[in-house]
Structure 1
Amino acid sequence: MAMHQIVNHEDWLEARKRFLAKEKEFTRLRDELSRERRELPWERIDKDYAFEGEHGTETLADLFGKHSQLIVYHFMYAPDWEIGCKSCSFWADNFNGITPHLNQRDVSMVAVSRGPLHKLQAQARKFGWTFKWVSSAGSDFNFDYGVSFPPPSAEHESAPYNYGSMMVKGPEMPGVSAFIKQGDAIFHTYSTYGRGVDMFNTAYHYLDIAPKGRDEDDLPYPMAWLKHRIAYES
């Protein structure tokens, strides 16, 4: 870690107050961005999707439960994998346990993966997760929402991701989607991918205020340090 400027308390407080003005500006801009996000147009979902859950087959409407809003975390878990993506598992560690709070604001949350249900359930037990996690195996859901991709072919070695802003070669990528149900009609209101998913990771935002930040600059890639939580040495 490079040498850092050291000052007395009065100078530290003055610098902190100057930076506070920037933080307040950012907060106001974020509030405005959130408002504009909520004002985006909706698209009606007319396609039928089937999910396998703890109590059998469920429809997209069933995933709402008794609430009118639904958040889906697109959890990377290809059918032939033996454990879910370590990055998505990192995100899951951050959202596990928040469902009761979301329910109080008329929101249900569910993770959706293409992996078979028994594999999802086994990982949930091992990690102590309690959030609802369903399998979309046999459904087009993950493909339609841009987080699963067909195997590379001679014609297409990579596939567009994040609204075509990048090309990927793997079978799975992460994302978060939002839906609303009005009567019998379901509407897709928002989806975000790539760095857009970053804002949903609480641990990263705590690291951002640590003196070294995320401390990933010298790694082969940003998340090279990451392991499944149960794989860290005690």
Structure 2
Amino acid sequence: MDATQTQDLKQQLKAKWDQRNALNMEMAAIEKQLGGQAMQDYELTRHDGSTVRLSEMFGEHSQMVLVHNMGFACKYCSLWADGFNGYFHHLESGEYGQRAKFLLVSNDRPDQQQAGAKLRGWQFDMLSCRDTSLSKDWGYAREDGDKVHYGPGMMILEKTGDGTIRCHQQTDICPGDSLMGLFHMFIRLPDSTGSAFE
């Protein structure tokens, strides 16, 4: 490949990155238009078995990133959470931008969550939404006969001055999304098949 071809490919790549960034901004704007729905103040369970209201978990924050996790049975959900563990404190501190509380929920039992979080070294707040309708109400649980299949996703919440909790945005979590940088490394390796899943 000569220098001219190399330069042409680099320009093509830059154009694609610009298109992707613009598309991400457009998608975020559309997601915001869907938001503002009031949601109930779910009672969730800590690792020690005590309960806490979702509203209480905001603490000093008025905004929250709420992640729905499929639990430790899903190795990919655990991989995403490993990534969140590396930067959630920057989100909560506002060091690099806006401040928001980070909270992860799953339908695992509290004792399962506690053991798994300790094993993987997770430091963020994690609660069980088991025996609540949170996952089903917001589209992260699908009934199939007598079984329930849970899906991963992210919600952007706000607690208003009167204590109302509102959902402003929702997105699914899946291989290749912008929330997990590792997959973007995988697909660029020389022997990659080009798939986020290998």
The answer (yes or no) to whether the contact 2:107–2:129 under 8 Å persists in 1 is yes
- CA change 1:48–1:108 in 2 (3 A) is closer
Runs of 5+ unmatched residues, structure 2:
none
Q: Which residue number in structure 2 is paired with residue 58 of structure 1? A: 52
Name the aligned partner's letter for residue 157 of structure 2: F
Q: Which has the larger radius of gyration?
A: 1
Aligned twin of 1:162 = none
What CA RMSD, in Å, does the superposition of the two structures yield over aligned residues?
Answer: 2.4
Higher-helix-fraction structure: 2
Aligned residue-pair number:
192
Structure 2 residue aligned with 1:208: 187
Residue from 88, 99, 108 that aligns with 2:77: 88
Deviation per residue, 1:48-79 (Å, 9 max, x gap): 311112573111111212111111111113xx
Alignment of 1:138-153 (within 5 A): 138-150=131-143, 152-153=145-146
- Deviation per CA, 1:114-162: give whole Å up to 9, x if none: 1111110101111111121101122111121222234515xxxxxxxxx
Q: Distance in 2 between matches of 1:212 and 1:67?
A: 44
1:144 maps to a residue whose letter is: D
C-alpha distance 141-41 of structure 1, shift in aligned 2 (>3 A): closer
Contact 2:41–2:55, Cα closer than 8 Å, also in 1: no
**1:102 deviation in Å?**
0.8
Listed as ranges, the matches of 1:40-55 within 5 Å are 40-45=34-39, 47-54=40-47
Q: What does 1:1-234 correspond to in 2, within 5 Å?
A: 7-45=1-39, 47-54=40-47, 56-77=50-71, 83-103=72-92, 104=94, 105-150=98-143, 152-153=145-146, 171-183=149-161, 184-193=163-172, 195=174, 198-213=177-192, 215-216=194-195, 223=197, 225=198
Instruction: Tell me by how many angstroms 1:29 deviates.
Output: 2.7
CA 1:212–1:35: 2 relative to 1, 3 Å: farther
Residue type at the aligned position of 2:8:
E
CA distance in 2, matches of 1:196, 1:43: 27
TM-score w.r.t. the length of structure 1 is: 0.72
SS of 1:96 mapped into structure 2: helix
Amino acid at match of 2:2: N
d(CA) in 2 for partners of 1:150 and 1:29?
A: 33
Change (3 A) 1:214 1:172: farther
Percent sequence identity is 26
